[in-house]
Amino acid sequence: MTLDFEKHWEKTFRYAKANSPYYRELFRSSSDMPRLEDVPMVDKKILSERNLEFLSAPRERIAEIVTTSGTTGKPLLWMLTDGDLKRLALNEKLSFECVGLAAHDTVLLAVAMDRCFLAGLAYWQGLRELGCASVRVGPPSATLILEMIDRIQPTAIIAVPSFLRVIAEKAAEAKYDLKNSPIRKTVCIGEPVRDASFNLNTSGRAIEAAWGARAYSTYGVTELANSLCECDAGQGGHLHDAMLHIEIVDDDGKHLPDGVVGEVVATTFGVEAMPVIRYRTGDCAALFRSPCACGRTTPRLGPIVGRKNQKLKFKGASLFPSSLQTVLDEFNGVESYVIVVRMEAELSDSIEVLVQGQVAVEMLREAIQARTKIAPKVRHASREEIEALQMPPQARKRNTFVDLR
């Protein structure tokens, strides 16, 4: 560990112990600062059950209250001080600099700013910190996005990849040539655009082909008030290590070597309202510490290959939903789909794939088996049935994986 790490860790430890009810109890018997790796990890369940015990600042200093998405349980209340918002803005500025954005850029923010959503707020603040002109158009309408592109001539857009593809489809219908628009960078949030080998996946390739613009991958977690964005090298999201420390661990909590996929565990530095120490995010990825081709020497987080609690067990085989999604994204004729998983037995899941489009389900099932070694149930479904599963009430983003276990 570097001297900078030790300085940041000591400051975080002493602050959390003095101010957080949860950490005051955890470190009650610690007269000396423990090694970070000796501190017990916390997960979403603990954060949910003891949510406000992580609050380390008086309520009169809270400037913003947001919530998590709630995709893996009850949404958490997450609070930020004015200092936390400044930290957030600086983090996003550094991330956008990785993308190559600068003050001369005009950026369309096709991201929700309402419903207690942190990401839209974070991106907006980062763009202001960078000096960019930002257009908070949100994600209400692909038609509106195209109108704003035509009127404002932005140079970049921030959006969920699936929405970028919807916009591209609407542009094709309207005979609007996105490739000739001034947009040259698409910053993709919330969904992967690269696979574990850093190659663009089907979604990433489709975005670059339709938009004639570079697709950049990002990763962020509300509880960390932090995001990591890749640079032109496309070899993982750059970590701002004065604000965040990342470990990659196996199922037993042991550290894994660089380049090996495991669970992402994070410790925040410099957070005032709700610091977290060794937080198990549930996301699975690999960490890389070798210098990047861009010249940066900070660690990089590889593409998220799945969530630990979403790992599927099917007749002795284990896989992440992303393996199925890759096949479905690439299969000709599949217009939309959703993967529904239920518990069949303690060591085996029931997997059903619902598809809409001109596709032979038996051929699709064979393609899935050839790529993943499993043969789930595949059936046709209406667009309405799939839409209802992808976007249930109160959902913030479309989901092609529905876990009913």
Residue pair 261/285 in contact by the 8 Å Cβ criterion: yes
Q: What angle do CA 139, 145, 147 make, to 5 degrees?
A: 150
Per-residue pLDDT at 262 exceeds 90 = yes
Model confidence at 148, pLDDT cuts 50, 70, 90, reads very high
In this prediction, residue 69 carries a pLDDT of 67
- In this predicted structure, the answer to whether residue 310 has a pLDDT above a threshold of 90 is no
Confidence of residue 393 (pLDDT cuts 50, 70, 90): confident
pLDDT, mean of residues 3-11: 92
246-254: average pLDDT? 95
Range 10-32 average pLDDT: 94
Cα 55–Cα 60–Cα 62 angle in degrees, nearest 5: 55
Mean pLDDT in residue range 269-295: 96
Q: Which two tokens stand for residue 374?
A: 């499993």
Q: In this structure, are residues 29 and 1 in contact, taking their beta carbons and an 8 Å threshold?
A: no
Rounded to the nearest angstrom, the gap between the alpha carbon of residue 202 and the centroid of all alpha carbons in its chain is: 17
The DSSP-derived string for 155-196 is: SEEEE-HHHHHHHHHHHHHTT--GGGSS--EEEE-SS--B-T
Higher pLDDT among residues 404 and 93, named by residue: 93
Distance in angstroms (rounded) separating the CA atoms of residues 180 and 402:
37
Q: Give per-residue pLDDT as tens, 312-358.
A: 888 777 788 888 988 998 899 999 999 999 887 666 788 999 999 99
Residue in 236, 302, 227 with CA at minimum distance from that of residue 263: 302
Q: Label residue 75 by pLDDT band (50, 70, 90).
A: confident
The reported pLDDT for the residue numbered 191 is: 85
Break the chain into its structural domains and give their ranges: 84-239+282-305, 311-403
Q: Is residue 102 over pLDDT 90?
A: yes
Helices 161-173 and 142-152 sit at what angle, rounded to 10 degrees?
80
pLDDT digits (tens, 9 = 90+) for 181-203: 999 999 999 888 998 899 999 88
Residue with tokens 């339709």: 210
Evaluate if residue 276 carries a pLDDT over 60.
yes
110-119, 239-248, 364-373: range with highest mean pLDDT:
239-248
Average pLDDT, the chain: 92
Q: Which range (99-113, 124-138, 338-352, 354-368) has the least confidence?
A: 338-352
65 pLDDT above the threshold of 60: yes
* pLDDT confidence tier of residue 233, bands split at 50, 70 and 90: very high
pLDDT at 87: 97
pLDDT band at 117 (very low <50, low <70, confident <90, very high): confident
pLDDT tens column, 133-145: 999 998 878 999 9
Per-residue pLDDT, averaged over 232-246, amounts to 96
Q: Are 353 and 334 in contact (CB under 8 A)?
A: no
- In this prediction, residue 2 carries a pLDDT of 67
Q: Which CATH superfamily is domain 311-403 in?
A: ANL, C-terminal domain (3.30.300.30)
Q: In this model, does residue 9 exceed pLDDT 80?
A: yes
Quote the CA–CA distance of 64 and 83 in Å, as a whole number. Answer: 11
290 burial type by CB count under 10 A (0-12 exposed, 13-18 middle, 19+ buried) = exposed
Cα 267–Cα 268–Cα 272 angle in degrees, nearest 5:
140
Q: What is the DSSP string of 218-233?
A: EEEEGGGTEEEE--TT
Topology of the domain comprising 84-239+282-305: Rossmann fold (3.40.50)
User: Taking a C-beta distance cutoff of 8 angstroms, is the pair 331, 202 a contact?
Assistant: no
DSSP helix/strand/coil, 254 = coil
- Residue 203 vs residue 286, higher pLDDT: 286
Here the tokens at position 48 are 């949910």
Q: Which of these, 192, 131, 196, 119, lies nearest to 158 by C-alpha position?
A: 119
**Banded model confidence at residue 172, pLDDT cuts 50, 70, 90:** very high
